[in-house]
Amino acid sequence: MLRKRSPLIICGAFIFVAWNVILIFVLMRHPSTQGALDSPDEPGNTGDRAGGGQFGNIMNEVMHVANAFEAELESQKKILVQIQSHWSVWENKGGVTAAKPKSQAEHSAPVVIPILVIACNRVTVKRCLDKLIEHRPSAELYPIIVSQDCRHSETSDVIASYGSQLTHIKQPDLSNISVFNTFSYSSVVVVEDDLEVAPDVFEYFRALHPVLKSDPTLWCVSAWNDNGREGFVDPGKASLLYRTDFFPGLGWMFTKDLWAELEPKWPASFWDDWMRHPDQHRDRACIRPEISRTLTFGWKGVSSGQFYDKYLRFIKLNTEFVPFTKMDLSYLEKKKYDESFEKAVYGAPVVTVEDLQSGKLSGSGPFRVQYSSPGSFKTLARNLGVMDDLKSGVPRAGYRGVVSFLLRGKRVYLAPPVGWSQYDPSWS
C-alpha cells in the first residue's frame, strides 16, 4: 500500500517546481537576448543609440532576474533541507506524522506515594503522625491514610484530631488494604503506629520508587536496619544503601502488584514473620539503608517486646538529609551489586573475633569473620554484638548469607564460606 504523503512535503515540492517554470517563462519572453549579447563590432550589428538602449534594458532585466534567481536558489535550498528532514521523520515513523512532544509537566508528573499508618490501640500514634506531617514535603504527593484495625475510642479520638491532614479508615483486620482497592494507588509505604521517621524519609522512598518498580529481583524498600545501633553503623555514610534478603519491615514500600500476589493468602497476624518465609519472598530482596530512617518507640508490638531492650531501643535514627533523588543508584542493580559485593566480602582477610576485640588490627577494614553452621553464626553474632536470630535460614540484614556492620570503627562481614549458594530454611 502506498503511504500518504505529508502535506508539507507536497507543498514544498510544488513551490520548487512552480518557481522554475516561472523563471523559464520570463527568459523565453526575450528571444533576441542571445543576439543582443553579441559584440557590437561584429557584422550585422548597427551599434546605434537605439540598439544600445535595448541592450541595456535587456541586460538590466537579465541581471535583475539573475540576482533574484540566486536569492531564490538559497531560499529553495533551505526549503529542500526542511523537506528532506521532514521526509526522514515521515519514513522513520512508517508514514505516520509524529505526535507533538508532551509538555515537561506531562513527562515528569511526580508519582503519588501514600503513607499507610497501621494503628490500633496506642494513643502514642500521635508521635508517629506528628513526625510524618512535620517532615513530608507535600500533602498531595504523600497523603497519609491511617487504618485503625481495632475499636479503641481514645486512639480514634487522637487520629480524628488531625482533621483533613489525613484520612482515617476503620476496619476489623488487615485482610483488606484499601489503599489499593479503594484509592487505586500504584504503591504504598506502610508505617506502624510506633515508628518515628527521619527528616529525609520521603526523599528516600521517592528516589527508590523507580528502582523498586523496574527491578523484578526486588520486592520492597525498607527504611530499617536491624543492626543499625549507634556504633554499628558508619555515621559518615548516611547515603549508603544495601540489598538484603531479610524482610526488615518497620517502614517499607511495596507495589500494588505485590499486594495482588499476597492478598489472597494474607495472614490474620504475625505477618512480618510470614513475609520472611521462602514461599513469600521467593528469593527477592529488599533495599535497606546503612542508617535507619525509622525509629521504633513501642516496647510492645507484634514481637511482644522481643529484642527491644537489648537492640531496638538503641537504633540510630538518621538526622542528615541525603538528596537521594539526585544520586545515581544504579549500583543497586543486582548484577552490578553482586559483583561488587562479593569482591568486597571475599577479598577481605579472614580474622577472628579475638582479633577484632584486641584492637591490634590496623586500618578500617573490611575484615571477614567466617561461620559454617547455624550454631557458629549465633555464637559469633552474640560475641560481635549483632542480632543472632535466623528466619528460614536468613540472618537479619543479611545478603547472600553476609551481615555487614561496623565494629570499633572497622567494617566487618560476618559471612559463610566462599561458594555459598543458597539459604537452608532449617537454620533457625
Catalytic residues: 272
Structural contact between residues 193 and 125, judged by C-beta atoms closer than 8 angstroms: yes
* φ/ψ (deg, to 5) at 282: 45, 50
C-alpha cell at 58: 535587456
Which residue bears the cell 500521635?
A: 126
Structural contact between residues 227 and 211, judged by C-beta atoms closer than 8 angstroms: no
C-alpha cell at 7: 502535506
Which residue bears the cell 480524628?
A: 160
Using only C-alpha atoms, the chain has a radius of gyration, in whole angstroms, of 37
User: Identity (one letter) of the amino acid at 379?
Assistant: T
Please name the residues in contact with 100: beta carbons below 8 A apart, sequence gap of 6 or more. none
Cα gap 133→198, rounded to integer Å: 12
Adjacency order of strands within the sheet including 115-119: 167-170, 144-148, 115-119, 187-192, 252-255, 218-222, 285-289, 241-244
Cα gap 399→338, rounded to integer Å: 10
Cα gap 7→81, rounded to integer Å: 16
Structural contact between residues 20 and 73, judged by C-beta atoms closer than 8 angstroms: no
Phi-psi region of 254 (alpha: psi -120 to 50; beta: other; left: phi over 0): beta
Q: What is the DSSP letter of 420?
A: -
Between the two ends of the chain, the Cα-to-Cα distance in Å is 68
Least Cα distance to 9 among 78, 64, 66, 83 occurs for: 83
Please name the residues in contact with 82: beta carbons below 8 A apart, sequence gap of 6 or more. 8, 12
